[in-house]
């Protein structure tokens, strides 16, 4: 194990200043963004009250399966490349290449989404300030936070994410009070659960078709795997972060959805307004929209910051393996990949131009696109865990020696692979989201074509030594 850790540390190269609570909040920061505060309205509208709750429960269970698989990998190999590295070592270099670029594009676009959401809200209060001013301010804030020592970044994200966690808890508590009539608003009771077509106005199938947008909401939990590359004690902090993130994320989302569908009729829910603001309004709380808008803006900026962190570390790792331009591999004196941070943010800013193409449909398209990328990478994580376990056991390793073990192996990772594949296919059956298939499949084809025509030889040469070192250490040191 010591030899493997030396190889991992050498591959990581980053300063290990991340604490367990930082990792948990970075993951929560990536998860709780506009997907919950704004996108939840879309899910309620598409699946109905019972369907929305069921979709978030199923999505939360799937998150638990993926996190369990990632936990075993991240404790054994805590590297910034995370599932990209796991895929290239335990599946194939081509799959690692695909996973890496898809997830990096996903991260850069998510920054765009969060900035758009924040600016749309801020301009309601400051209509005379050009949007470019807000984008410049965001850029400076993100840059400062992400080029400082990782411990400083982790601490700042801990407090930013705490604001939205508190906001969800307070909103859920106020929502329960509204439902039972403990505020100035008359009791709503079970009206929205049982009327307007019942719990499943579109049938049970709508819950499964809504899982793509739900996966967009849950995307970010896997950031723990990337943060493990800078964790002080991965063997202890990663399993703790995996458990707490899975349970609390599921609790936050499902509780919030139960409250939301009890207050908002599913026909009137959508993506134009935050359903959480309605909770405070019905409760008669002064300046309800202002309170919720502050929380949503903070949430959006926190989520974008988490994705900036994760994406910059990922493309830095990619540059080490020949998957990305070599100039991105340089670290600052604080052992921070400043060039990768800048590159990721510049691409994120460029994504703002997409808003000019179709501002009305952009959010839904991006929601579906990121959902597709997420389920592909989640499936790859589960497959990589199975590959790791097979090689580990064949090399003479004892499963009992692993710092963290995926429960119910191989059932859970197999379920994860099949479930994620099924969700990806379901996009074809949602006409409004079918655009993701039309655009996503060609992007995947282009990435794979580029790999086999131009990058394969370079990447294989670069990875050969790393693969041999890791597999030899598995054979010699983990037995």
Bridge partners of 18?
A: 231
426 and 206 Cβ atoms separated by less than 8 Å: no
Q: Which residue has the tokens 């194939």?
A: 92
Q: What contacts 260, CB < 8 A, 6 or more positions away?
A: 40, 44, 52, 175, 269, 275, 276, 279
Q: Can you give the pLDDT at residue 3?
A: 43
Q: Distance between terminal CA atoms of the chain?
A: 9
What does the alpha-carbon distance between residue 241 and residue 318 come to, in Å, rounded to a whole number? 25
What does the alpha-carbon distance between residue 180 and residue 177 come to, in Å, rounded to a whole number? 5
Q: Radius of gyration (Cα) for the chain, nearest Å?
A: 22
* Element (DSSP H or E) covering residue 69: helix 39-76
Q: Which stretches in the chain have pLDDT values below 50?
A: 1-7, 10-11, 477-479
Q: Can you give the pLDDT at residue 213?
A: 78
Alpha helix (H) ranges present in 126-204?
131-147, 150-179, 191-194
Q: Which residue has the tokens 């959010």?
A: 363
Residue 80 phi, psi (nearest 5)? -65, -25
Q: What is this structure's pTM?
A: 0.84
What does the alpha-carbon distance between residue 295 and residue 287 come to, in Å, rounded to a whole number? 13
What does the alpha-carbon distance between residue 226 and residue 230 come to, in Å, rounded to a whole number? 8
Domains annotated for the chain, with CATH where assigned, are 1-469 (1.20.1740.10)
231 three-class SS: strand
What does the alpha-carbon distance between residue 362 and residue 365 come to, in Å, rounded to a whole number? 5
79 and 228 Cβ atoms separated by less than 8 Å: yes
Q: What contacts 146, CB < 8 A, 6 or more positions away?
A: 153, 305, 308, 309, 312, 336, 341, 345
Task: From residue 17, give the alpha-carbon distance in Å to each of 91, 230, 341.
Answer: 30, 6, 18
Q: Which of 240, 218, 219 is nearest to 75 (CA)?
A: 240
Q: Can you give the pLDDT at residue 33?
A: 63
What does the alpha-carbon distance between residue 274 and residue 256 come to, in Å, rounded to a whole number? 13
DSSP track, 265-300: -GGG--SSS-HHHHHHHHTT-TTHHHHHHHHHHHHH
Q: What contacts 150, CB < 8 A, 6 or more positions away?
A: 14, 15, 17, 18, 230, 334, 335, 336
Q: Can you give the pLDDT at residue 51?
A: 92
162 CB burial (10 A radius; 0-12, 13-18, 19+)? middle
164 three-class SS: helix
Q: Which residue has the tokens 């197999």?
A: 414
Q: How many helices (H) and strands (E) does the chain have?
A: 20, 0
Task: From residue 224, give the alpha-carbon distance in Å to each of 16, 83, 184, 328, 443.
Answer: 14, 11, 42, 22, 26
CA dihedral 378→380→381→385, nearest 10 degrees, is 150
């Amino acid at each position: 194990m010591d030899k493997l850790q030396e190889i991992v540390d050498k591959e990581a190269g980053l300063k290990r200043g991340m604490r367990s609570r930082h990792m948990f909040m970075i993951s929560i920061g990536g998860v709780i963004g506009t997907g919950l505060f704004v996108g939840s309205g879309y899910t309620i509208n598409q699946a109905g009250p019972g369907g929305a709750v069921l979709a978030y429960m199923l999505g939360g269970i799937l998150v638990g399966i993926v996190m369990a698989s990632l936990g075993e990998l991240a404790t054994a190999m805590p590297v910034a490349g995370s599932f990209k590295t796991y895929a290239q070592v335990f599946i194939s270099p081509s799959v690692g290449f695909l996973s890496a670029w898809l997830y990096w594009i996903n991260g850069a676009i998510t920054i765009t989404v969060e900035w758009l959401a924040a600016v749309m809200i801020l301009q309601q209060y400051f209509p005379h300030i050009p949007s470019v001013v807000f984008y410049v301010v965001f850029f400076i804030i993100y840059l400062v936070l992400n080029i400082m020592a990782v411990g400083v970044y982790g601490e700042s994200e801990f407090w930013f994410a705490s604001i939205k966690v508190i906001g969800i808890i307070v909103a859920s508590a106020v929502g329960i009070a509204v439902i039972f009539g403990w505020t100035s608003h008359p009791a709503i009771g079970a009206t929205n659960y049982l009327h307007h077509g019942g719990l499943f106005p579109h049938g049970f199938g709508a819950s499964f078709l809504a899982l793509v947008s739900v996966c967009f909401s849950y995307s970010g939990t896997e950031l723990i795997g990337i943060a493990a590359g800078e964790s002080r004690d991965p063997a202890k902090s990663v399993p703790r972060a995996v458990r707490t993130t899975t349970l609390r994320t599921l609790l936050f989302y499902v509780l919030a959805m139960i409250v939301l569908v009890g207050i908002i009729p599913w026909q009137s829910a959508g993506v134009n307004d935050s359903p959480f603001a309605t909770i405070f309004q019905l409760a008669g709380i002064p300046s309800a929209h202002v309170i919720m808008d502050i929380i949503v803006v903070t949430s959006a900026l926190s989520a974008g910051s988490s994705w900036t962190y994760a994406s910059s570390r990922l493309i830095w790792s990619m540059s080490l393996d020949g998957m990305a331009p070599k100039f991105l591999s340089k670290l600052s004196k604080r052992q921070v990949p400043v060039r990768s941070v800048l590159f990721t943010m510049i691409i994120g800013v460029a994504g703002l131009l997409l808003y000019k193409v179709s501002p009305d449909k952009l959010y839904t398209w991006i929601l579906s696109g990121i959902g597709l990328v997420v389920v592909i990478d989640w499936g790859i994580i589960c497959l990589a865990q199975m590959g790791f376990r097979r090689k580990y056991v064949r090399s003479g390793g004892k499963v009992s020696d692993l710092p963290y073990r995926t429960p119910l192996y191989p059932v859970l990772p197999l379920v994860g692979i099949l479930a994620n594949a099924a969700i990806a296919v379901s996009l074809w059956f949602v006409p409004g989201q079918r655009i993701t298939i039309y655009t996503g499949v060609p992007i995947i084809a282009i990435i794979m074509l580029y790999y086999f025509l131009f990058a394969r030889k370079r990447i294989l040469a670069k990875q050969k030594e790393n693969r041999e070192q890791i597999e030899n250490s598995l054979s010699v040191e983990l037995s």
